[in-house]
Structure 1
Amino acid sequence: MCIRIFLGFSVLICIAGGPTRASCPLELNPPSVVVKYGDPVSVNCSTSCTDHVGMGLEATHGGTALQLNATNVTWIVDNLEDWTIQPVCYITTSTNQVKETLPVILYKTPDNMSISLLNHSGPMVEGTEYRLQCDIQNVAPLQNLVVKWYKGNESLLNVTYSNSTKTPVDVSPTLTITPSRDDDGAQYRCEAELDLGPEGPQPPPTVSSEPLDVTVHFMPRNILELRDTEVDVGSSTQLKCNSNGNPPPEYSWTFYRAPNVKVENNDTLIIEDATGANIGYYTCFARNTLGMVSAIARISVRGADPVCPLQLSADRMVIKYEDPVSVLCSTTTSAETLYWTVDSQKINNNTWSVNRLLKWDISPYCNATFPGIGSCRKPLHITVYKTPDNMSISLLNHSGPMVEGTEYRLQCDIQNVAPLQNLVVKWYKGNEFLLNVTYSNSTKTPVDVSPTLIITPSRDDDGAQYRCEAELVLGPEGPQPPPTVSSKYQIYVEIRPQHQPTPGSRNIVQPTAKPKGHNDLLELNPPSVVVKYGDPVSVNCSTSCTDCEGMGWEVTQGGTAFQLNATIVTWIVDNLEDWTIKPMCYITTSTNQVTKTLPVILYKTPDNMSISLLDHSGPMVEGTEYHLQCDIQNVAPVQNLTVKWYKGNESLLNVPCSNSTKTPVDLSPTLTITPSNDDDGAQYRCEAELDLGPEGPQPPPTVSSEPLNFTVHYKPHINASQLPKRIPVFRGYPEELVCEAKGNPKPRIQWFYHQVKLGRDPGGNLTVYEAGLYNCTATNNVGTSFVVVEVILKEDYLPLIAGFVAIMVVVISVIFIFIYSIYYKNTKMGRYSLKDAKLSSTPNGNVAQNGGRNIPLPMTRLSQPNIIF
């Protein structure tokens, strides 16, 4: 084995018994070649060995025969075209043969390159996947080929090959792209680069295709310039709609077609002399062949109210119970939807009709949805009436002929009449009008009422005929003349002659015979009483008169006989149960009789009280009118009764009763409510309070119903404080939109972006990255609410500012260091040598010369006392 060592000169050491190849080394120059197809090539093969037979070069082209005793052979080819050539240089010795193969890379750049779009022609569509193909013809070697893809000058992808084929091949690499709108007009190209290593040409041979121009069609994404606008009534304004898209979009509008609105060039909407009809939403649509985008702007007109273009054939109707009814609802413009709602029932028709009206409290609404205006509705006000089934007049607590000068009560019993608040009860004596009785109770269902008339008949009233009439005054929409039902009652009056008093009896004297100040003779203690039904009562009647014949109590229960020469008599009842009792204390003098009536209020708290919801069951709906009824059983006297309505502890309404009936009655006052979402879970109750004056129990007797728990269904209400109308988003920093909605039933929250439903995070949160209009919609079975949020994309300049500040700090620091170094260099302490220094001949001797440099050095001569050893 021979080893060549370079120590400034070449030393060859040969060791016997080593491998045969090392006995005579071969050297190729150059050791390898990279040759373009068809180009010439020349390589020298030499040896330093002298004890060999000969050497040669074996190759399919340009080879040489064995040359005896040669130390150098050359392989030469004028145009190399053999792709698999492997030249071998060899040397032959007496014992063996040594070979060295020359590495040859034969390359060829492509004959042609082109880029095309696979399986598609014409413009691309945004968001669709496509494949670009780069056709490269006749290139070699493949394993040295690098195909580079570019969009403009941006490098996209490098493609390499591991195939070791040396002959030219055709390859067609592909690039998968999903173009966006930003790629419209972009140029794609591919480059074939042969990376042949350091021995190859530098830079590497490269061939590029012609660029492929890309046209991308995309749907409109954002509508620009369209904003909510507020304008004064009578002023003019305009809305501008603009969007980007390819092909360019066409524009259209939806809005309430008021006569003062016009559209110019499809993208501009002009409102002149704004009125309430212009209040609403204006939607602009931008469309092209790929899709549509829309945006909404609201116009508010200061000083004007919005309109609802609905018309009813009759706004108010008065219908007799069980009669038919039919009402037409029409519009002055085209409506998207038109229907009736009656309570919770929906009727998809423009006419609401009923063959027999059997509901007392009914609230039909005509509902419609209009472009621009949205939903609006118009109520139909219906009064359902019923004349009484029966009417009769009776005399309360008395039978037989009346007594002249005595007070009596006539009662008119009216059965099954409605509505009560439209009822007027008229009392007549013959044709003489006496009294009108009206009612404030808003109960709409039929009730029984018993108004009374207090009379004190005279002898002229004997045989008189009293009449009560029930008249339903239903307004101009009702029947004319008003429906009337009447009843008659004839009275007979017994005339009592006057007579002188005898023991045990008394005279009844006409009030006209009483002298002034007659009541001063009698004193009641207490002067009036308030007694609970069934409780005992005791009242003293006394007089200061000494020349009176006697006195007593005249009363239906607990009266006393005439007591001679008495000055005090007591009326005592163990359990008072006479509702119309009128105890009268009397005293008889020698000339007349004096009486004094004891005012008695007999009261009774209700046996039972309950509250209920009329004509409805289940949860209520926000914004709908309902009637609560408080059923009060067996209470008296009614005129002292006040019905109080409460929501929780909040007082809503106090309803006093004007009926003068003293006997126990049943009452059913009502409360009209229109619940809101705040009423969900509220408790309503009614209280019956008997205000019996200062003589009555304190506090007044009160009975309360059990509370009625409310469940109110209401449409979603979106928390606008969490969701501003406009929100900026910095590029690269996503923002979370929080949509919270309260509703009953619990609303379902969805996000939309350009009318496309988006997936949502739990709780209605949405993370946004790009600009646009985002619609949060909350829906339940009552209704839908939505809020549109405009996301504005902004650039974050903070990193740039921070970078600029950092650069400025570095620059200032460098400048400071530079200035300081100059200052330090000019002011630093010098180093001086005093060797051979000579003191000057100056008088003070404080200057020395520095050797031979003649540089004066300041010095101070020290005296002996200044030197310390």
Structure 2
Amino acid sequence: MRIFIFSLLFLCTGMTASACKIELTPPHVIVRFGGSVSANCSTSSCSELEGMGWESPLGGQGLTRGVSSLPFHIAKVDVWDVYSQCFITMKNSEQKLENLDVTVYKMPEIVSMPQPVDEMVEGEWYPIHCDIIDVAPVKYLFVLFHKGNEIISNQTFDGVSKTPVNRSSDYKLKVHRNDDGNEIWCEAQLNLWPAEQPSLTMRSRSHGINVLYPPTFTEPENETLEVPANEKITLNCTATGNPVPTYRWRFSHSSQEMINIQNVEKPVLMPSFQIKGTYSCTASNKQGSTTKYFTVIEVKGNRTTFAVLLAMGLFLGVLVIGTGLFLVKSDGKFSCNRGNYQPTSSGPIFPAELPGLFKLEFSVSRRFWEENIMGNNFLTWILIFCMFCSVSGEGCSLILKPSRVVVGFGEPVSVSCEAARPVRVLGWESAISATHTQEDRSVQWKVDSLIDWIEEPICYGVFYTAPRQCEEKLNLVLYKTPDSVSIKQVNHTGPMVEGKEYQLLCEVQNVAPVQYLTLRWYRGQTEVYKHSFSDLTSSSPVQVSSTLVITPTKAENGAVYRCVAELELGPEGPQPPPTVSSEQLTSSVYFPPTFLSPDMEILDLTLDVEITLNCTATGNPAPVYSWESSQPLQEKMEGEAIVTTSSLLPGTYTCTASNTLEKKSKQFIVKAKTKGI
């Protein structure tokens, strides 16, 4: 019976403890490192509750009796793992625990993205890197890459570390022309709360994207324009590209009377006159080029009007001829007789009666008609009339003053174009300073500072008489002296060796126009070679070089070489022609020893009389001398080219002169001779 009662009490006690529920408010705390934490622990439906408390290394609170709710507060969170528990104690000493979930976070110290490459090429892939320094906890970290208003990548990180870590993220970006000018950056996010609450974010510095791409026309299709005669045309070749495109216009035609418009560096062409033909516009930058074609067709005029005019002309011609045949009598004299009426010289007479139709008759002086108007030469006058009705052609009379201009880069230029006959429009077609005038017979092309290397000004005229359109292209030479002229040996350094072949290279930097350039090679003051570049056609500055092949001799040791760039621009150019000289190159030529007197010498030795053995040789490097003999040598002979002594013994003495190239020897035979003989 006692066992039953004890068991019943135990079961009742267990039911009371399990019925108690602990509620934490809030159940999950997110706190910045160094911040404060507050929470509350409460319970209900616990009839046998003894009390409750908090366990925490950051300031727990012991059992507090008689309460069903107990707050908890941490003034400063300075640890990364916060352990906190709320506990309740029943009267039977039974306890129940509930952990408070605390997340301690720290925003990154630094979020950085290094500057990508300055220039990106369309279609290429480029690495983008992002560094996140000192962030916690890593499992909540997201790294986003932004391009303009678009998120192009979203990366997460695995990890259980609650303490701050460093992380990096990489992304490969394929650029398109639409990306040009956009900004890219990376952003670190800590997604600590549910999706409906904002994340904590920190972004890097943004960087602009510079995408290089070839030109593309805003209207890429080729165009055909039907333009009425004498109406102006507008050709739009605008293209997008990076770098900004440059434009080159060309006009192909088959008639020499058509105006050739070339090298106009602007996207919109508005010629001062309209000529049918094919215009091509090439837009270029360093990424590529593309060409668009405009076909201009002249709309035919109203042929009805032309037919009416032609018919009227023919009718008048027939009328004149018919009238002449009717009014000229058989003797070739003109008569205005109508019916039986005879004209008089008194003037016009109008009949009193006009039966049936109106009659108009004139009386004129017979002599006038015979001598000045018709007479016997009626058909001749008809031909003269026709001649005056025709239009005789004249030559195209445009005169350029001067006809050839030579101007230095950046210098001013002025040229006058004059028309030798009445002109409707006179003008200059040019990429810069284009101009035109109406009626005036002179127009000037003037540029304060000419820096356009492909400028080709054309004077054009639209005339009243045929040929109605013609042109004169200015012979313009824009020149620039070289930035530098240098000279050096090719594939060799140091001294040269006599008899071997060597090359000297002369390099000219940034000279124009190259076809007028002459490179002159000098050894000392003597011109040894001249190199012209007349086969080249570039009008803009170029780099050119010239090679001089030499086979030096010992006589050329110490010779000074130089090259001189000379622009021979003709009589219109500066006189004397501008020149730029290189620095001097002094040649050092190695050659083997050569004795001043190479033949063997026989010397007579007289007692107590000095004799001289001269072994002097020339060479480069300077020769070193040594002596050999069957007789004992004197110490003073070693290394000497000339030996003067009176103590030599008869015998053969051999002198050797040597340098790094060769050794050469010379013999001296000394014979004894008695004094006085």
Q: After TM superposition, is the score higher than 0.5?
A: no
Higher share in helix? 2
RCO higher in structure (CA 8 A, sep ≥6): 2
- TM normalised by structure 1 equals 0.32
- TM normalised by structure 2 equals 0.41
